[in-house]
Amino acid sequence: MRVLPVIAFLIVASGLARSGESAPTSPGPIPIETRQAHAVFRITPRLYSGALPGGDAAFAELASLGIRTLVSVDGARPDVVAAHRHGLRYVHVPIGYDGIPAQRTAQLVKALLELPTPLYVHCHHGQHRGPAAVAVMAMAREGWSPDQAVDWMRQAGTSTNYPGLYGVVRQFRCPDPQPIEAAGELPETAAVPARVTAMVDIDAHWGRLKVWQWRSWKPVPGDAAPTLHQEALHLWESLRELGRQEATQRLSEGYLRCHTLSEERAKALLDETAKPEPLSVQRLDGLVRRLGESCTACHRVHRD
């Protein structure tokens, strides 16, 4: 029984020692425990980071945390209607994985300066683009150094496979007041290039295929969701549709080779799902892995 006070003393003492060492002015990003929203961090009192809120319950939870404005840097169209139901306003500032253009930076900083805070900044998973946007905003207006910003991206799990995102943060220069003023409107939904929209759609099918894989390719009894075959079909069709577009046809030979490979691998997966049962877990796993590799191979060269 006497052990407890000793442990308590040690915990307090080690805490004091640590706080004495670094004398932090702010505690830095704190992970917030949530039920509906994911990957949520409180960065500063005015700034939060996290994943795409998936439905009403997640929006409600963010509102209950005190969030006033949502900033999406994702390519997908934000669910503005659901956000409004919970008294939240959206700003859509879509960015890619290769960095943050100056005009987008100006918009992000303007949002932090002019819109009701706290702001909740999200991409899709809350791991890469969202944390990079948050890093830039915190450097511009919350007094962060580039080192703090990079530490935060590591904490959020931003992959080093996105050198453009780390680069923009390491070389960050705060935009002058003028570009911030000239950033224009902060729209709730921004125009997004057709290819980005197509990729968002492809990614949605891909995400659901990964859920099938996670369930060892077994359907949920009584589930009305698309079958595995339908999901694989939609993915292949979306890729094919994108490949047929004139804008895609005008891209480089190397790009088109990457595209064709991905399409072929999606077709191989589709054919496997069309076979009479029983499905081979091992074969499906292999086909999905190869398809995923074809996505990554193109992204590495042509996106990131």
**Residue where the block lists tokens 């890729």:** 239
Q: Which stretch binds ligand HEC (CB under 6 A): 42-50, 64-72, 159-167, 201-209?
A: 201-209
User: Per rule CB under 6 A, is residue 304 in the interface with ligand HEC?
Assistant: no
User: Per rule CB under 6 A, is residue 290 in the interface with ligand HEC?
Assistant: no
Q: Distance of CA 173 to CAs 72, 114, 146, Å?
A: 22, 20, 10
**Residue where the block lists tokens 């998936």:** 54
d(CA 100, CA 169) in angstroms, rounded, equals 9
Token duo for residue 116: 């009701």
Q: Which stretch binds ligand HEC (CB under 6 A): 25-33, 149-157, 211-219, 295-303?
A: 295-303
d(CA 57, CA 245) in angstroms, rounded, equals 37
Token duo for residue 150: 């990079």
Q: For ligand HEC, what does the binding mask look like between residues 45 and 74, x meaning CB under 6 A?
A: -----------------------------x
Q: Which of 44, 117, 262, 273 binds ligand HEC (CB under 6 A)?
A: 262
Q: Which of 39, 93, 140, 202 binds ligand HEC (CB under 6 A)?
A: 202
Residue facing ligand HEC at closest CB distance: 75
Q: Which stretch binds ligand HEC (CB under 6 A): 3-11, 79-87, 104-112, 256-264?
A: 256-264
Work out the burial of residue 284: count CB atoms within 10 Å of its CB; fewer than 13 is exposed, 13-18 middle, 19 or more buried. buried
Q: Which stretch binds ligand HEC (CB under 6 A): 12-20, 164-172, 182-190, 296-304?
A: 296-304
d(CA 19, CA 14) in angstroms, rounded, equals 9
Q: Which stretch binds ligand HEC (CB under 6 A): 35-43, 103-111, 154-162, 293-301?
A: 293-301
Amino acid identity at 169: V
Q: Which of 41, 152, 206, 236 binds ligand HEC (CB under 6 A)?
A: 206
Q: Which of 199, 228, 270, 287 binds ligand HEC (CB under 6 A)?
A: 199
- For ligand HEC, give the closer residue by CB, 144 or 236: 236
d(CA 282, CA 265) in angstroms, rounded, equals 16
Q: For ligand HEC, what does the binding mask look like between residues 158 and 197, x meaning CB under 6 A?
A: -----------------------------------x-xx-
d(CA 139, CA 145) in angstroms, rounded, equals 6
Please count the other Cβ atoms lying within 10 Å of the Cβ belonging to residue 302. 14
The least distance separating ligand HEC from the CB of residue 293, rounded to whole angstroms, comes to: 9
Amino acid identity at 118: P
| Alpha-carbon torsion angle 79, 83, 89, 95, nearest 10 | -30
Of the candidates 175, 152, 153, 53, which has an alpha carbon nearest to the alpha carbon of residue 97? 153
- For ligand HEC, give the closer residue by CB, 141 or 195: 195
User: Per rule CB under 6 A, is residue 258 in the interface with ligand HEC?
Assistant: yes
Work out the burial of residue 190: count CB atoms within 10 Å of its CB; fewer than 13 is exposed, 13-18 middle, 19 or more buried. middle
- For ligand HEC, give the closer residue by CB, 117 or 273: 273
Q: For ligand HEC, what does the binding mask look like between residues 72 and 101, x meaning CB under 6 A?
A: --xxx-------------------x-----
Catalog residues that contact ligand HEC under the rule CB under 6 A. 74-76, 96, 193, 195-196, 199-200, 202-203, 206, 255, 258-259, 262, 291, 294-295, 298-299, 302-303
